[in-house]
Amino acid sequence: MKRTTSAQSYREGIEDGSIAKSAKRVLEYLRKYGPMTGRQLDHAIQGGHKRLIELDRAGLIHVVDRKPDSQTGKTSIYWGVCEAPMLSDTPQPKRQTRKELEAENAILRAALNEYLMKMSKLYDKAFKAGYFFGEKGLPMPEDI
Is 24 contained in some domain?
A: yes
Helix locations, 17-143, DSSP H? 18-33, 38-44, 52-57, 98-128
Q: Report pLDDT for 141.
A: 55
The domain boundary residue, chosen from 52, 81, 110:
81
For residues 76 and 33, membership in a common domain is answered with: yes
Closest CA to 25 of 59, 65, 52, 53: 52
Q: Is 86 within a domain?
A: no
Instruction: Say if 126 falls within a structural domain.
Output: yes
Amino acid 132: pLDDT: 63
**Higher confidence at residue 25 or residue 17?**
25
Domain annotation covers residue 48: yes
* Side-chain-side CA neighbours of residue 71 (13 Å): 6
pLDDT higher than threshold 90 for residue 100: no
Residue 24 and residue 60 in one domain: yes
User: How far apart are alpha carbons 10 and 125 in whole angstroms?
Assistant: 64
Distance between CA atoms of 15 and 10, rounded to whole angstroms? 9
Q: Are residues 130 and 77 part of one domain?
A: no
Same domain, 71 and 106: no
Last residue of a domain, one of 81, 107, 128: 81
Cα→Cα distances 76→7, 38, 60, 137, Å = 27, 8, 19, 53
pTM: 0.52
| Rounded Cα–Cα distance for residues 69 and 135 (Å) | 53
Indicate if 40 and 101 belong to the same structural domain. Answer: no
Q: Are residues 43 and 76 in the same domain?
A: yes
Answer whether residue 36 is part of any domain. Answer: yes
**Which is higher by pLDDT, 132 or 115?**
115
* Residue 9: band (very low, low, confident or very high) from pLDDT cuts 50, 70, 90: confident
pLDDT digits (tens, 9 = 90+) for 22-70: 888 988 999 999 898 888 898 889 888 888 888 888 888 889 989 988 7
- Please indicate, yes or no, whether residues 48 and 107 belong to a single structural domain of this protein: no
Q: Looking at the structure, do residues 24 and 67 belong to the same domain, yes or no? A: yes
pLDDT given at position 106: 92
Question: CATH number for the domain including 39?
Answer: 1.10.10.10
pLDDT in tens, 59-99: 888 899 899 887 888 899 999 998 765 554 555 566 678 88
Domain of residue 106: give its range: 96-138
Query: Total structural domains in the chain?
Result: 2
Cβ atoms of 133 and 123 closer than 8 Å: yes
Lowest mean pLDDT among 29-38, 93-102, 106-115, 118-127: 93-102
